[in-house]
């Protein structure tokens, strides 16, 4: 047993057990449980946990900052994206063997450190882990290009059938995604209506 | 309450207008050569010399089952059943359906044996067995092989599977992550499972195994990942490896020895699988076996094509790149090579040689010949003497301009330099496109009409080769491709072809490339499906539409026909659009990028208007 607290509420106890099951049941240094208020019998418990990936307001990795508002980073990233065969799976952003990167669906998060982490760690459905195989600075640059693909400015610059050829730098406020309503002009609100044959 | 205000804000955001891809204009008619200009044969047609048909050894009398995707070793996909005809086909009705629970490209043939229907799905390669003796064909069992999820990221062209095979109480199939599995067909439990491919170097398996002669023959996929191609033979009872032959590299690994007697001089010489490449390039040179392996019970031989050389950028691999983009005849017991012929030496265009071969006895040059007929991606229909490996005729069956014909003295294509690719140069309007005049989806042959029924494409491409580095487990392509419709604009066509007279008899145009196989019946019907979701029956003599039914998703699978336990004729097919051509619907692909899915999206960006992803087994019959 590694229960650290007891409450009168059976509901809360179940939640505690479930949360502990997610991580290690550590010793004295374990962080406090993310229960925001004392649970009362019959109350709804609001647990600070959000579904999906972390939607923190600010970037948590200070290394990310220099790659925002940085036209060189996205241009260099574009070259590296080809040289490391990223384009082999993701094409010019439209995907193929790997998913599209030019839409606004970010399975593992759209902040630069999240994209960086996806490239470093790989992902279970086929994305290789590039950590240790590409210099870290270059992984950040690739991440910047990947993030740029779905920016409205990048999409607007598409001329012909090949997108992502003039990648726009990433506005710093595009990282301020609170998970509900991305700030205007920082994210591609790509919605599609597919009409049938006319 | 907290969430409400941001949600309102989100609703007021104006969507960014996006540029929709439009399907490019067709290639002009005068860009391609005609059959009369570039078709060749070593002698004139002599139809009076005999009747074209498969031998009894390769196509035994029809027992009403459909135990292997190709129906029989001759690969005729011909059903002797006659209940359904061009006259009554209009009365065909759905007998039952079954959801495959996988919305990816379904390329498999349903298999019918022992009053049971077996089917394997795209990844995650579920196998279902349905009981045909009971109303509605209830599930007998389902087998979930649980392939490694990472294998999805290594499949070049959707996570497809081309079907399993029934033999002696076993249902044998492959998984995307490189296993071959034999199931007890009654119990649905694994008798053996053998892992042959290593996904860490980009290998996968998508093909349907060929089971014959007590062995299971399989090969690997990965021509877009720099994977060295091979074919392997497993013992059917134990799953143990009997032999394995590579399609690049030293003769001893290709299983080339004293028995190797290729017809053409250019295929003779020591270690051509090394010497026709830059140093070590053969180790990452492709030549995969992901299509059809054909067993010849009459001549005790095995025939299989080999895939494209890697990378697609041909400037990175000067030489003929043997033994890619060709066909081998091998000894089924030892794998030892008997002959080889290369369709596309130093392939510039991704013309894999892996399509099906149909084994027939056919009149040619005044006598009967044992031939194999192969419909290559490179646009040519080859009639090859399967004893010697000599090409008897080579005729274009779709728009072609990369060659001015096949030189039948050397066997080599006569290259059109205008359509040869060069690194850094955008070569436009190359016909056929990378996926070929026809891809993997198999043709059929009717001994009643003497015609081949070829489901194929009419597409061309622009291709620019670019430098690419080999990184193990990642794509090794090096080309920017943009596909487009061929002359006339219809991207697909069903052609009935007379192999003796060497010309088409009729053709049905389709808007989208035909990515399904065909099956033909003694009742006189050809069955096929379209990518926009029509399952059709046409008159085998005329091509006239006899019946069609709109299924839930585009059809890219292999239709079959069987006699049910009640004695009536049934027709079965899988819906489920996808594959290379359908990835824009089934895959994580954005239609705004014409270069996506190896340039296929440029020609297929309108497919989402016509179909959505799906995956259902449909079985039809006449009311009875």
pLDDT digit string, tens, across residues B268-289: 999 999 999 999 999 999 999 9
| Whether A168 and A70 share a structural domain | yes
Residues of chain B with Cβ-Cβ distance to A125 below 8 Å are 149-150, 152-153
Q: Do A24 and A70 sit in the same domain of this protein? A: no
Residue ranges of domains in chain B: 32-60+247-434, 107-241
Measured distance CA(B290)–CA(B295) in Å, rounded: 15
Using a CB-CB cut-off of 8 Å, the residues of chain A touching B284 are none
Edge to edge, the sheet with strand B165-167 lists: B165-167, B170-174, B179-184, B190-195
Domain CATH for A87: 1.10.760.10
Which burial class, exposed, middle or buried, applies to A58 when counting CB atoms under 10 A from its CB (0-12, 13-18, 19+)? exposed
Q: Mind telling me how many Å the CA of B90 is from chain A's nearest CA?
A: 26
Residue in B92, B90, B93 with CA at minimum distance from that of residue B544: B90
User: Which strands sit side by side in the sheet containing B111-113, from one edge to the other?
Assistant: B111-113, B116-120, B127-131, B139-143
User: DSSP label at B14?
Assistant: P
In the sheet that holds B525-529, the strands lie side by side as B78-79, B519-521, B525-529, B534-539, B545-550
Residues A98 and A39 in one domain: no
CATH number of B32-60+247-434: 2.140.10.10
Q: Does the pLDDT value for residue B362 go beyond 60?
A: yes
Q: Could you tell me if A9 and A33 lie in one domain?
A: yes
User: What is the secondary structure of B89-140 as a DSSP string?
Assistant: GGG-EEEEEEE-S--S---PPPEEETTEEEEE-STTT-EEEEETTSTT--EE
Chain B residues with CB-CB distance to A130 below 8 A: none
The residue with tokens 């033979």 is B233
Q: Which residues of B are catalytic?
A: 224, 308, 350
CATH number of B107-241: 2.40.128.630
Q: Both A134 and A45 in a single domain?
A: no
Q: Domain check: are A85 and A109 in the same one? A: yes
Query: What is the Cα–Cα distance from B490 to B554, expressed in whole angstroms?
Result: 17
For residue A45, being part of any structural domain is answered with: yes
Are residues A88 and A124 located together in one domain of the fold? yes
Q: Choose among A145, A159, A87: nearest CA to A116.
A: A145
Q: What is the DSSP letter of B418?
A: G
Of B7, B474, B589, the CB nearest to A85: B474
Which of chain A's residues have a Cβ under 8 Å away from the Cβ of B473? 128
Asked if residue A77 is part of any domain, the answer here is yes
Asked if B590 is an interface residue toward chain A (Cβ–Cβ < 8 A), one would say yes
Share of chain B above pLDDT 90, in %: 96
- Segment B139-163, tens digit of pLDDT: 999 999 999 999 999 999 999 999 9
B593 and A102 in contact by Cβ < 8 A? yes
Task: Give which of B229, B235, B277 is closest to B253, Cα–Cα.
Answer: B229
- Say yes or no: A93 and A131 in one domain: yes
My answer on whether A24 and A78 are in the same domain is no
Given pLDDT bands bounded at 50, 70 and 90, which one contains residue A110? Answer: confident
Residues A81 and A123 in one domain: yes
Segment B250-264 mean pLDDT? 98
Scanning B437-476 for CB atoms below 8 A from A yields 466, 468-469, 471, 473-476
From B3, which residue of chain A is nearest by alpha-carbon distance? Answer: A180
Length of chain B: 624
Q: ipTM of this model? A: 0.88
Statement: residue B309 has pLDDT above 60: yes
Mean of pLDDT values over A168-196 = 64
Q: Which residues pair with B457 in a beta bridge?
A: B492
Q: Are A100 and B590 in contact (CB under 8 A)?
A: yes
Contacts of B14 in chain A (CB under 8 A): 189
> pLDDT tens digit string along B183-240?
999 999 999 999 999 999 999 999 999 999 999 999 999 999 999 999 999 999 999 9
Beta strand spans in B213-343 (E): 215-219, 230-235, 241-246, 293-296, 301-305, 326-330, 337-342
**Domain range for residue A15?**
1-49
State pLDDT tens for residues B372-392.
999 999 999 999 999 999 999
B13–A162 CB contact, under 8 Å: no
Burial (CB < 10 A; 0-12, 13-18, 19+), residue B94, is: exposed
- Best of B11, B123, B153, B434 to disrupt the A interface (most A CBs within 10 Å) is B153
Residue A156, in any domain of the structure: yes
Residues A100 and A154 in one domain: yes
Structure tokens, B517: 């196989």
Looking at the fold, whether A82 and A154 belong to one and the same domain comes out as: yes
Number of domains in chain A: 2
Query: Is B483 within 8 Å of chain A by CB?
Result: no
In a domain, A181, yes or no: no
Q: Which residues pair with B426 in a beta bridge?
A: B464
């Amino acid at each position: 047993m590694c229960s650290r607290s007891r409450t009168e509420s059976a509901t809360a106890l179940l939640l505690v057990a479930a949360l502990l099951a997610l991580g290690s049941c550590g010793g004295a240094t374990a962080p406090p449980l993310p229960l925001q208020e004392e649970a009362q019998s019959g109350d709804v418990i609001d647990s600070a946990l959000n579904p999906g990936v972390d939607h923190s307001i600010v970037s948590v990795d200070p290394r990310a900052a220099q790659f925002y508002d940085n036209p060189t980073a996205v241009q260099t990233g574009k070259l590296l994206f080809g040289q490391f065969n990223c384009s082999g799976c993701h094409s010019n952003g439209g995907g193929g063997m790997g998913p599209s990167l030019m839409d606004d669906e970010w399975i593992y998060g759209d902040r630069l450190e999240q994209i960086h982490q996806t490239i470093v760690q790989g992902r279970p459905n086929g994305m290789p882990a590039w950590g240790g195989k590409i210099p870290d600075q270059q992984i950040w640059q690739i991440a910047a290009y990947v993030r740029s693909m779905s920016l409205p400015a990048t999409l607007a610059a598409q001329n012909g059938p090949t997108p992502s050829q003039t990648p726009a730098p990433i506005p710093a406020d595009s990282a301020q995604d609170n998970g509900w309503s991305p700030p205007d002009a920082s994210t591609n609100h790509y919605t599609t209506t597919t009409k049938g044959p006319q | 309450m907290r969430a409400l205000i941001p949600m309102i804000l989100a609703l007021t955001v104006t969507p960014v207008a996006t540029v929709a891809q439009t399907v490019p204009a067709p290639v002009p008619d005068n860009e391609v050569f005609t059959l009369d200009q570039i078709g060749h044969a070593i002698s004139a047609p002599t139809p009076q010399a005999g009747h074209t048909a498969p031998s009894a050894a390769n196509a035994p009398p029809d027992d009403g089952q459909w135990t292997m995707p190709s129906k029989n070793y001759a690969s005729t996909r011909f059903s002797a059943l006659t209940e359904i005809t061009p006259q009554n086909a209009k009365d065909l009705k759905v007998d039952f359906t079954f959801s495959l629970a996988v919305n990816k490209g379904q390329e498999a043939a349903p298999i019918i044996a022992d009053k049971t229907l077996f089917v394997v799905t795209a990844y995650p390669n579920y196998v279902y067995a349905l009981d045909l003796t009971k109303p509605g064909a209830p599930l007998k069992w389902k087998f979930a092989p649980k392939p490694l999820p990472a294998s999805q990221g290594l499949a070049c062209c959707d996570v497809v599977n081309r079907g399993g095979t029934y033999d002696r109480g076993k249902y044998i199939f492959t998984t995307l992550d490189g296993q071959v599995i034999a199931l007890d067909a009654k119990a649905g439990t694994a008798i053996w499972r053998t892992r042959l491919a290593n996904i860490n170097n980009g290998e996968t398996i998508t093909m349907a195994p060929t089971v014959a002669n007590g062995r299971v023959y399989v090969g690997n996929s990965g021509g877009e990942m720099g994977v060295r191609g091979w074919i392997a033979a497993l013992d059917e009872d134990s799953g143990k490896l009997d032999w394995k032959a590579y399609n690049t590299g030293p003769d001893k690994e290709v299983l080339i020895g004293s028995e190797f007697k290729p017809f053409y001089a250019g295929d003779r010489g020591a270690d051509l699988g090394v010497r026709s490449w830059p140093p070590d390039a053969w180790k990452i040179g492709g030549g995969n076996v992901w299509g059809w392996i054909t067993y010849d019970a009459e001549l005790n031989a095995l025939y299989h094509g080999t895939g494209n050389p890697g990378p697609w950028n041909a400037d990175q691999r000067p030489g003929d790149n043997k033994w890619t983009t060709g066909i081998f005849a091998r000894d089924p017991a030892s794998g030892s090579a008997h002959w080889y012929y290369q369709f596309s030496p130093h392939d510039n265009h991704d013309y894999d040689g892996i399509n099906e071969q149909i084994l027939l006895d056919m009149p040619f040059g005044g006598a009967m010949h044992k031939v194999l007929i192969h419909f290559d991606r490179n646009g040519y229909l080859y009639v090859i003497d399967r004893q010697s490996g000599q090409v008897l005729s080579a005729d274009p069956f779709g728009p072609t301009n990369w060659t001015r014909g096949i030189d039948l003295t050397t066997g080599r294509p006569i290259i059109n330099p205008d359509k040869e690719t060069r690194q850094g140069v955008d070569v436009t309007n190359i016909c056929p496109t990378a996926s070929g005049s026809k891809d993997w989806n198999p043709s059929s042959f009717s001994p009643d009409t003497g015609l081949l029924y070829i489901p194929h494409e009419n597409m061309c491409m622009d291709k620019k080769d670019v430098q690419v580095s080999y990184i193990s487990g990642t794509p090794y392509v090096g080309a920017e491709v943009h596909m487009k419709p061929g002359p006339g604009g219809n991207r697909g066509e069903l052609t009935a072809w007379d192999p003796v007279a060497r010309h088409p008899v009729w053709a049905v145009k389709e808007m989208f490339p035909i990515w399904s196989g065909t099956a033909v019946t003694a009742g006189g019907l050809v069955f096929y499906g379209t990518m926009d979701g029509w399952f059709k029956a046409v008159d085998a003599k005329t091509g006239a539409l006899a019946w069609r039914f709109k299924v839930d998703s585009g059809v890219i699978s292999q239709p079959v026909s069987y006699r049910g336990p009640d004695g009536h004729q049934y027709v079965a097919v899988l819906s489920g659009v996808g594959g290379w051509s359908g990835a824009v619907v089934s895959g994580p692909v954005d239609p705004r990028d014409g270069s996506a899915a190896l340039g296929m999206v440029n020609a297929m960006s309108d497919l989402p208007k016509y179909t959505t992803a799906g995956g259902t087994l449909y079985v039809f019959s006449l009311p009875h």
